[in-house]
Amino acid sequence: MSSFTVRLTFHGDLAFFLRRKQSIVERRLNERTSVKDIVEACGVPHTEVDLVLVDGQPVDFSQVIGSEAGVEVFSIRSRSVTLFPENQLQVRGVRKFVADVHLGKLVRDLRLLGIDVVYDRDAEDRQLVKTSNAQDRALLTRDRHLLMHAAVRHGYYLRSQNSLEQTVEVLRRFDLASVLTPFTRCLRCNALLESAEKEKIIGQLESLTRIYYDQFRRCPGCGQVYWSGSHFEKLRKRIRKIRDLLQTEA
């Protein structure tokens, strides 16, 4: 087979992933290659791609290209994807996540907002991929190669290294702003909190807490008790900050 050239144009913020940050890439190929492999060889994980047009026609990731072609690649935020509602490659409405080992602060923020995030700081890469696939969770990571595993159906590469900005990124990417339920989930283990009677947990409380507070929640997973003490005000401030950021930046 003689070699051929594929010319790719990356739209939206996908240029972020390209080596020279230029939106057009030409690749010389010697064999028939799938769209997924061609796009990922440019550095863009398939989880970031919502629409691919080959010579103007929408295709999916398994489409094989064997001769000269022009390929347009769009992110989930590109306006053009709405022109091809049947051909969008990313699933909408993902509400469950699994996070890479380096993202402890992001995980805490998301759980604080009530979002379901599995996190194990000792998890190996293949465990993350397995959890994502088996439980239909979007994989959150700053390792783009992890997102290139075919078994990862949903995922997101965090652009920022700042946990507050990362939280806002996730809320935007997965349209979570309208489904937040702050203070309903355990920050330590992800279980949903239950209200607890004071008499039943009084042994776990310090003396001042016993005196000043009557409303408590308890985690059925790890036993942690929560109440609206001084730490609560700090957490509320954090939530306010996240909501403000979510509204101000486009």
> Which residues of this chain interact with Zn ion, rule CB under 5 A?
186, 188-189, 191, 219, 221-222, 224
How near is the Cβ of 226 to Zn ion at its closest, in Å? 9
**Comparison of 191 and 246: residue with beta carbon closer to Zn ion:** 191
* Shortest CB 221 distance to Zn ion, Å: 4
Helices (H), 47-186: 104-112, 125-134, 144-147, 163-173
Give the DSSP per-residue string, 146-167. Answer: HHTSTT--SEEE---SSHHHHH
CB of 178 to Zn ion, least distance (A): 26
Gap between the terminal Cα atoms of the chain: 47
Toward Zn ion, which CB reaches closer, 137 or 217?
217
The residue among 80 and 224 lying less far from Zn ion, judged by its C-beta, is: 224
* Count of CB atoms situated within 10 Å of the CB of 246: 15
* Interatomic CA distance for residues 147 and 141, integer angstroms: 8
Please state the closest distance from residue 159 (CB atom) to Zn ion, in A: 30
Q: Which residues of 40-49 are buried (b: 16+ CB within 10 A; e: fewer)?
A: bebbbbbbbb
Taking the least distance from each CB to Zn ion, the nearer of 11 and 111 is: 111
In whole angstroms, give the CA distance from residue 51 to residue 87: 7
Query: Measured from the CB atom, is 54 or 191 closer to Zn ion?
Result: 191
Tell me how crowded residue 80 is: count the other CB atoms within 10 A of its CB. 14
Q: Cβ of residue 141: shortest distance to Zn ion, in angstroms? A: 23
